Structure 1
Amino acid sequence: MSQELLRSLVWTDYRLAVLFAVLLPLVLLLWATVKRKEAMQRLLIIYWRVASLLAITVYLMIGNLPIAFLTGFLARVLIPTGLWFWTDINEEIDDQMDSLLKLCLTAWRWAVSVYCGLGAIATLPFLRCAFDRGIYETPFCQVWREAPLIYQDVLHANYTSGFLAFWGIVGVIIYTLYFAYFVVVRLGREGRSALDQ
């Protein structure tokens, strides 16, 4: 694959991520809040907790840390899992009367699940960038840093890459601790119920 085609595909992926992972769920959360649809609000709040790993990945990319490839892949696996995992939320949403909000939420859930699933498959070859420092420095891996570096220039121009990487590492640690607590404690105690999420 040529470098220009790869660059084009990577930038398309970032644009789709902004649409499916940021803008649409934000609109849906605001809409569900205005309509007072608690099950949808809970689902979208859980989504934002899970999807925060994508934001952490951006900061790790800014800091030129290879682990970003692993966190990005894991985010693509965890997002659809988090959207469909909760039996009580799924039942509550299914039981609601048909509405435009319910249709949009369901369509978005399927769309982001397909996007993340295909994205996880497509990024499998890039996982070696996380473990092989020799390949990490090549354009094959570095093309993924272009969008995060532009993000840094726009929103964090006064901060160094090292400072932002530090916050990315802090984010990974907090995310890992919270995820471990969920798997070890919450999952065994409450199963697939999201009552206290």
Structure 2
Amino acid sequence: MQNEVWLRPLIWMDYRLAVLFTVLIPLILLAWAFVQKAEAIQRLLTIYWRVSSLLAITVYLLIAALPVGYISGTIARILIPIALWFWIDLNEEIDDQPKGALKLTFNSWRWAVTIYSVLGAIASIPFIQCAFSREALATPLCTILREPPLLFREYFHANSTPQFLGFLGVVGLIFYVVCLSYFVLFKLGKQGRSALPQ
């Protein structure tokens, strides 16, 4: 009970920050980059959206209380900073762009979401036990983490069952793993740290 008192507000704050840093701001930046014709920022944000889709998949997995959702959320927070800083050619193109509001805002967001993701990955370590123990899955530590996804379901999928939404999450996760595996096993060796195929 003591844990619930301080843990619940932190989890809700984390979800609100996630909406701000991982959804709203990058959407605005992507639209801005299209208007400004900033191709390097567009490409990096497109990569970001592909990688960060694991966060959305995690929400659907947690709605159905699927244990893998407790792992996928942590992995997403690890992959996001990698995706934002991995590409040498895009980093150089962005650095070479003239100073302006878009470049400053984009770089500020990139640093902010990197710090947020790293801290979030560290903070999510205690929740990984929820994926491996039925007893832990029923504890407040694990059930509180599902409250924001369940509210998301009430707002956007009120007529869908948790099982169906969990099924969508599993399908999304399988597709994500296949695409990531293909990239790591086949494309990464050929193109290295270049976002454009060689």
Q: Which amino acid aligns with 2:178?
A: L
Q: Which residue of the partner structure matches residue 53 of structure 1?
A: 54
Q: Which residue of the partner structure matches residue 11 of structure 1?
A: 12
What is the CA distance between 1:13 and its match in structure 2?
0.4
* Residues 31-110 of structure 1 aligned to structure 2 (within 5 Å): 31-110=32-111
- 1:145 equivalent to 2:146? Answer yes
Taking the aligned partners of 1:82 and 1:24, their CA distance within structure 2 comes to 17
Taking the aligned partners of 1:2 and 1:72, their CA distance within structure 2 comes to 21
Normalised to the residue count of structure 1, the TM-score between the two structures is 0.98
Superposition CA RMSD, Å: 0.7
What is the CA distance between 1:132 and its match in structure 2?
1.1
Instruction: List structure 1 segments (4+ residues) > 3 angstroms apart after TM superposition.
Output: none
- 1:191 equivalent to 2:192? Answer yes
What is the CA distance between 1:2 and its match in structure 2?
2.4
Give the SS at the match of 2:124: helix
Q: Among all aligned residue pairs of Structure 1 and Structure 2, give the percentage whose two residues are the same amino acid.
A: 57
Q: Which residue of the partner structure matches residue 126 of structure 1?
A: 127
Count the aligned residue pairs: 196
Segment of structure 1 superposing worse, 23-32 or 124-133:
124-133
For each residue in 1:81-127, what CA deviation from the matched residue of structure 2 results, as whole angstroms up to 9, or x when unmatched? 00000000000000000000000000000000000000000111111
Taking the aligned partners of 1:126 and 1:62, their CA distance within structure 2 comes to 15
Taking the aligned partners of 2:182 and 2:34, their CA distance within structure 1 comes to 28
Q: Which amino acid aligns with 1:63?
A: A
Taking the aligned partners of 2:163 and 2:71, their CA distance within structure 1 comes to 19
Gaps of 5+ in 1: none
Normalised to the residue count of structure 2, the TM-score between the two structures is 0.98
For each residue in 1:20-75, what CA deviation from the matched residue of structure 2 results, as whole angstroms up to 9, or x when unmatched? 00000000000001111000000000000000000000000111101101000000
Q: Which residue of the partner structure matches residue 158 of structure 1?
A: 159
